[in-house]
Each structure stands twice: as C-alpha cells, then as structure tokens.
Amino acid sequence: MTTRLLAHSPYHPVRPGLLPPRARAITRAARRVLRANWCGGSTVPSRGLYPHQWSWDSAFIAIGQRHLDPARARRELRTLFAAQWSDGRVPHIVFHPDVPLGAYFPSPDFWRSSYHGAGRGAPSAAETSGIVQPPVHALAAWLVHRADPEGSAAEGFLAGLHPALLAWQNYLTGPRDLGGGGLAAIVHPWESGMDNSPAWDRPLARITPANPRGFRRADLDHGAADDRPTDLDYGRYVRLAADYRDHDYDDATAPHPFAVEDPGLNALLIASEHALGDIADALGLDGAAHRAAARRRTGALVDRLWNPHTGLFHPRDLVGERLLAERGAAGLLPLIAPDLPAQAVTELRRTLAGPHFGLGTSTRLVPSHDLLGPAFDPSRYWRGPAWFNVNWLVERGLRLHGAEREARDLRTAAVTAAAGSGFAEYLDPHTLAAHGTREFGWTAALTVDLLATDAQTTDGHRAAGVPHTAAGHPAVLRHSGGSRTVPDGATAGDDGTAGGTS
C-alpha cells in the first residue's frame, strides 16, 4: 500500500556536524556554493550564467537550505512570492535591479512586466518575466516549515505564505486549464522547466522564429555552444515570449500557438495540492478538499497523458490535440503523486530501468531524454543530460511508492556525481562528465537534502548516499568527468554545522 511520504512522521533535523566525515565534507562544499550564490534575500542559480532569482530554483534551494539555515530558506521563498502577480502567477524570473541588462537575455527591458503585465497585477516595484515555472513551492514551504516548526511559527511563515500559495495554485488550475480537462497548460517551453526538451520540437516547428538580429544571447558568454539551445530554437523561444508579452500576458486573449499539458508540471501541481492539504491542517483549516482535488487531478493526469504502450506519461499538444511521441524524463515525474494507480507505478519503474532510460544498467542517473531517441544528445541542454532536480524528484517518487533499494542507489549516484563534478548544472548520463555551469545552486542544495534523507532512512550513524567500503569506511569519490573537488578533511572555520545566517 502506498503511503504519503513522511507527511506526518516526526522530522528530526540532521545537523551536518553529526554526519560521517565524508558526508560532512560534501555538505561543507555544498554550503560554500550556497553562501557564494546568496544575494541578501535570495539565491542565484549561478553568478555568471543565471544572475537573477529563478522560481523553481529557489524552491529547490530552500528545500536543501532548510537543513543548514531554516530562516534563510524561509526568506528565500518569501522573497520570491513578494514578486507574485495579483492574478496568482509566480514569474519564472525576478530580476535583480543591480545586474546590468546585458548580463542576461531576455532581460527586464524585453519582458516589460510592470507595463505589459499591469492588467494582470504584475508588481510595480520589481521587474519580472511574464511566464511561470513548475509549482514546487507549496512542497518546499511545507518541508521548510517542518525543518524548524518553532522558528516558522514565530515568523508566521506558513500563515503568511498560505494565501499566496493558494493564489498560485488557483492560477494554474483556473486560467491555465486551457484544455478544460483539469490539467494546467504551459504556453512556452521554458514554463516546463525542461526548456530545450526534444518533446517540444514538433509544436515549436509551427513557430516562426524571431529575427536573430533583434536580440543577443548572453548565455553563450558563459556556456559552450554545444551545450546550449540552437539559434533556431532560441529564435522560436523569443517569438513565443514576445507574442505573449504583446498580448499583455492575458491567457484569455493570447493566441497560444504553443499550448501543452506537461506531465512534469502537472505532477508537481498534484504534489502541491497534497502539500497545501498538510499546510491547511497545520493552520487549523481543512486539508481534505486539497487531497480530494489531488485525487481528481491524478485521475485527469492518467486519463489525458498516460500511454500504456510506452509505460510513460507524455505531453499533450492542445493545438493538435494529441500526445507527443517523444519519451522525456517529465513523463517519469508523476511517481511523486501518492494516488497514482499501482499499475502505472509498476510500469514507470519498468520504464525507468528499461532501455530508454537505463537506470541501473547503462546509466546511474536518470537522463532527461530517451537514450534511444534520434534527438538524444548527452551534453546539450535538456536533450539528454542528467539533471539533479529531476533525479531528486524521481528518488522521492521511488521512496514514496516503496522502492527503497532503487531510491538508495539513486541517492548514492546523485551525491557522488554532484560532489565529483563541482556541483555541475548537468551531466552526461553515461560518463557523468560535467556540463553547463559549475557551483550550481540547486545541485548543491539537493545534495544536502539527499544526504539528510539518507541519515533519516538509515541508523543515523552513516549516510547511505555516500559510498562506503565493505568495512564501513567512506569510499573515495571518483568521477570520470574531472578531478575530485571535495576535500577529505575539515576546513578550519567552516565546520558545516547548522546554524545562523552567515
């Protein structure tokens, strides 16, 4: 029988200083990344490539930060929601005003949120994008609260954030139910979080790209061109964003030539509904309505996006009204839905270990795209590399449905790969060679959370997410993509213990 993952069991904070030596070293290294990326109210994903606040990045960062500094984790989420629009949407980027416009594109002068978003309630005091990312935030808020319920209560954290989380959920389940089937739709590939997935190639093919002379890609200043989206794809992204902006970000009147029900976003919408139920209970409200809504949405997910022939969930193109054929990692994320039918869970686990994703055989981390697909590329952004947030979600889903051995193996692989790669943005799923930027925020944060998860699921004396020899001593982490970057010993003045904001 499926149980809700740690929903009501006691939470015992894991102080990094009580972890075994190897885990402490990794935690210290991850904490240094988070400290370096902290900007006073939020954490940038990376100082160079992503110098602003990103929506789902902040949620994942808060999930890891709760083990190190719960107050900072709470502030991360509050800072993000301070830029929420009054229609409920949480923009995918909140721009830092002190960052030069040329440091990132599309920049604030492209989105012009305070002007074009005024009718939808965009904030006047901050510039943001006009699109969204997957809703990890209610889950993050609940986990952050449980890490330090006394501090959370003293700050009024849950009570203060609860109305904003409800408005965010209502935006996605209301104006964004473009298909009328009970699922939220994305109107831009970036809203899936898996920006450059081959799953979007077919619906993007009908989009006329923007003139490349009309914009300059800042991402190529910080990343290899072979790792990034092509100019053609980027031109289509720009066209979609510009057209949505020019319709004042109004979901009711914008034409939406790209409108897709994404299984990853909707799986997180279901997880958010369950988290909102837990938050409501904690506030003395009735969480039952949220859990009933989650069950209905799970049914819609199965009815509209499940393909029994592939054993996977697929995106639905609402313009062509068909399932998209490509097999992507987003189709595995419904494992985090507690009420997923047992047969679907069984099939997803089979698919995960099968030839298209190869987990445990040809890969140790979940690739972002079908290993056998013609568009698979092990190094290009979301077209095949393994990402740590995807692997964190899959690990959580496996644990939720009782697959502890597979979850433990995935934790081991993820922690090893993160530490050995310098907390890289993403990795080749076969060789674990690092790609993208290094010292990436959610990689560091989720590594901390995976280590803490191991401490919760073992006897508390050593973390199963860190490889050990048969004698029980920490093994040396080795990585085919580069030299080992995590020190063996402690560093003076950086003991890794949980404590106050630095």
Which residues are catalytically annotated? 195, 425
CA–CA dist 138, 279 (Å, integer):
8
Name which of 28, 140, 10 is nearest 448 in CA terms. 28
What's at 351, amino acid-wise? Answer: T
Let me know how long the chain is: 502
Backbone angles phi, psi at 196, to 5 degrees: -105, 25
Pull the structure tokens for residue 70: 């719960």
Q: In the β-sheet with 434-435, what is the strand arrangement from edge to edge? A: 386-387, 426-427, 434-435
Give the CA diameter of the chain: 65
Chain centroid offset of residue 252 CA: 27
* Cβ partners under 8 Å of residue 99, min gap 6: 51, 52
Name which of 276, 395, 263 is nearest 334 in CA terms. 263
CA–CA dist 454, 360 (Å, integer):
19
Q: What is the 3-state secondary structure (H, E, C) of 177-241?
A: CCCCCCCCCECCHHHHCCCCCHHHHHHHCCCCCCCHHHCCCCHHHCCCHHHCCCHHHHHHHHHHH
CA atoms lying within 13 Å on the CB side of residue 341: 15
Give the H or E element holding residue 435.
strand 434-435
Q: How many CB atoms lie within 10 A of CB 323?
A: 17
Pull the structure tokens for residue 311: 């054993």
* Cβ partners under 8 Å of residue 314, min gap 6: 199, 263, 305, 307, 323, 324, 325, 326, 327, 331
